[in-house]
Every structure is written in C-alpha cells, then in structure tokens.
Amino acid sequence: MTEACVTATYLIETAFDPGAAAEAMAGEQSSGTFVPVPGETPELKRRAGAVVESVEVLGETAEPSLPGARRPAGRPILRARVRISWPLANFGPSLPNLHTTVAGNLFELGQFSGLRVEDVELPAAFQQRYPGPAFGVAGTRGLLGLPDGPVLGAIVKPSVGFDAAQVADFARAMGEAGLDFIKDDELQTDGPVCPFDERVARVCEALDRVAQRTGRRPMFAFNLTGEVDEMRRRHDVVVRHGGTCVMVVLASAGLAGMSALRTQATLPIHGHRAGWGALSRAPLLGWSYAAWSKLWRLAGADHLHVNGLRNKFCEPDASVVASARSLLSPLGPLRADVAMPVISSGQTVGQVPDTLAALGTTDIMYLAGGGLVAHPQGPRAGVEALREAWAAARGGEALADRARRSAALASALAALSR
C-alpha cells in the first residue's frame, strides 16, 4: 500500500495453506466475509481491502496449540509469520477501532489453532491524534527530583483491608524511610472500608508531613480506576490535595477510558496491567507485550508494568526483559513517547543485580510489596535493604559483600535463603 496504512505482524498456526489462511484474516478484518457478497467490487477491495504483505512459513508442529480449529484430512499443522496491512482510511487514527481491526474476530477463526499479534506499525496520524505520555521517564524524574538511579517503591500491603488512616500510616512510614514511590494495590479503589476521597486526603496530609521533616515527598499513585466520569473526578480530588500521580488498571478502564482521562490529566498516569495473563500466557494466542503496550503508550500511560525477574507468576525472565526494553524504544516519527518500565511481582533484594545487568539501565521503577513489607525487622529495614542492594549492584559489588556492612541487607538475604 502506498497510502497511509496500519501493518500488523502475526504468529499463526494452521492446517490450511498459510497464504490462504492469511487471506481469510485479511478479508474477515476488512471488506470480505466467508462467502463472496454483492457490492464487494474489485474497486472497493482495492480501496478498502486488507493486504497480505508477506507470509513466512516457520515450520511444522505435531499437535494443535488450541482446541476447536478445523483440520483438513492429511494436512500438516504449520506455523507462519504473516504481515497484513489496512488502509488507515478504513477506521482513521482511532485506538479503539485500531484494536477492533488488528485483534477483532481473528482469534476465533476456524482455520487457526494459534494466532498472536506480534507487532503493530502505526502511521504518524496516531501521534497527531493522541498525545502519548505527558511525563514518561524524564517527567517522572523531574517531579521526584531524581536525576538518575532506579525509582524505588512499595505497594501498599495488605492489598485491601486497611482503612484510609492505616494506608496513610503506611505511606508515612515508607516516605520517612526514604522511598521514592508508593502505590495502591490494583484491588484498592473506592470501597466502603477505604473510600477514595478520604484515602487521598489522609495520605497527602501524611506525605506533606514527611516532606516537612525530610525535605523529600514521595510520589503516591492513587488507584482511580472506574467509570470515566469517576476517574476524572477522582483525578481532580488528587490534584486538589496536592497528589502527584494516579493509577489506572488498563484492562478495566479500556482504551477509550484511558484516553479520556489523559485529555484531562495533569498528573502522571501509572498503568497497571492486571489481567495481562489472559492475553499472553498461551504462546500461540493473544498479544506480544511490545505490540499491546504501544496502544497504551499512545493513550497516555507514563508508567507501565512489565512484571519482574524470577517473578511470582509464570512469565520467563527473557519475556520480562524484552517488555521493559520495548517501552524505552521510540514509538513513532513525531515523538519518542517512551514510558517508564515498572518492575514488580514478587521482587526482593535478590533480583536487583540481575535486573540491572539484564536491562542495562536504571530508567525503571523497582517495586516491592511483600519483599519489602515482610522484612524481618519491618518495612523501614526493608527499604534500607532495597537501597543497599541497588547501591551494591550499581557499584559492581556482590550483595553478600555489601551485606557485611548492612544489617538490613544481611537480614533480607537470610530471609530469602530460608
């Protein structure tokens, strides 16, 4: 295609001819359907039909990855990488409609026993329409007064059950211990035990006192996920109380909700990917993180969760590293639109050296929940241990050697070995 277009790359698995299967994808997601219909003229197909740009057969597999696919008798099951492009004129620079086009009625097609979105290439029109992250890495560092090094943070634990005063006490303790960032758990929003407005007021008051005593005010990401009007109102509550960050559970808010919030937001938006496993755990189904996160960067996420090394979930380390690196890659020709990777999920002092070695950058958030709060000497010692671990890693010092001069780090390491 010579006009503006969107191109998506897929990994497919099919017992049909891969080229024919790719044509079925292109037809289903543009002008065609399962049978020829009146009105789909050659001129209309030329103007609005999706185009199969390439098909690369990768090899054969013995069994289908997913149930329900049709399999012609005697046909091998093949995997292939295909690229399909659509005229931008079909749907315009719209993230919700882009999502429908590249990831709509494809995963259910009977020809496929596997289909995964690996990449999405977008024309400049999307950056012209969507502002992208307002803060990203540089803006977040500016708000924190932290020109280099990782942004070290904690997640409020227990996840739910605290009232607003208890959350504020937690935030105060973490701030006084020297953390840069604190966030609500994704499960904590606006329940009757911990109402959003009261939590914001109490936490911001506590952090103001921390700033008066220490000269540093940590950033707290308040989870405002809800209906669009609720999110906008909650954002303004945070602003009124002097808060510096809000958090959205992306899958729950949706692209349209996220974009609507971004048009109003004056604070960084911390994007939580709860539910991501449903899109990624099956290797022949769903999305790659690099493709999926492009949409959320455009919609305005400043920070995006990527899991962590040796995490409590099932994601392998190589996938985590690739996800984090993808967020720091420029998104398009008009702006970089980089987002800060958020390393979390079962993180402790133990993963720190490998995280730094694997990513080669400290332009990250490194968050610990239980790995900090459950320190044998309490959360304050947990913060100290985390800072000592990062100081050791950045200085090329082994954690065990650093622990000889840090009781907090020694205790944290001993707890990990039990």
**Mean pLDDT over residues 323-352, rounded?**
95
**Mean pLDDT over residues 142-161, rounded?**
94
211 secondary structure, DSSP code: H
**Mean pLDDT over residues 377-394, rounded?**
94
Please check whether residue 358 is in contact with residue 317, taking contact to mean a CB–CB distance below 8 angstroms.
yes
Please check whether residue 308 is in contact with residue 318, taking contact to mean a CB–CB distance below 8 angstroms.
no
Residues 6+ apart with CB under 8 A from 316: none
> What phi and psi values does residue 186 have, to the nearest 5 degrees?
-65, -20
How is residue 386 written in tokens? 């985390």
User: Cα–Cα distance between 112 and 15 in angstroms, integer?
Assistant: 7
* pLDDT grade for 339, boundaries at 50, 70 and 90: very high
Provide, rounded to the nearest whole percent, the portion of the chain with pLDDT above 90: 89
Helical ranges in 49-163 per DSSP H: 95-103, 125-129, 136-144
List pLDDT tens digits, range 224-267: 999 999 999 999 999 999 999 999 999 999 999 999 999 999 99
Q: Please report, for residues 38, 41, 117, 252, 394, the alpha-carbon distance to residue 32 in angstroms, rounded to integers and kept in the order given.
A: 10, 10, 20, 31, 56
* pLDDT grade for 1, boundaries at 50, 70 and 90: very low
Residues written for the chain? 418
Instruction: For residue 17, count other CB atoms closer than 10 A to its CB.
Output: 16
Query: Residue 221: what pLDDT?
Result: 98
Residue 127 exposure: Cα atoms within 13 Å on the Cβ side:
16
List pLDDT tens digits, range 60-117: 999 999 999 999 988 999 999 999 999 999 999 999 999 999 999 999 999 999 999 9
Query: Residue 45: what pLDDT?
Result: 81
Domain 5-129 has CATH 3.40.50.300: no
Provide, rounded to the nearest whole percent, the portion of the chain with pLDDT above 70: 99
pLDDT at 377 > cutoff 70: yes
User: Cα–Cα distance between 202 and 197 in angstroms, integer?
Assistant: 9
List pLDDT tens digits, range 292-325: 999 999 999 999 999 999 999 999 999 999 999 9
Please check whether residue 122 is in contact with residue 332, taking contact to mean a CB–CB distance below 8 angstroms.
yes
Q: How far is CA 240 from the centre of its chain?
A: 27
Query: Residue 326: what pLDDT?
Result: 97
Local structure of 156: helix, strand or coil:
coil
> What phi and psi values does residue 340 have, to the nearest 5 degrees?
-80, 120
H/E stretch holding 81: strand 77-87
Query: Residue 30: what pLDDT?
Result: 84
For the chain, the domains span 5-129, 136-416
Query: Residue 149: what pLDDT?
Result: 96
- Same fold: 5-129 with 136-416: no
Local structure of 254: helix, strand or coil:
helix
pLDDT at 290 > cutoff 80: yes
What CATH number does domain 136-416 carry, 3.20.20.10, 3.20.20.110, 3.40.50.1100, 3.40.50.970?
A: 3.20.20.110
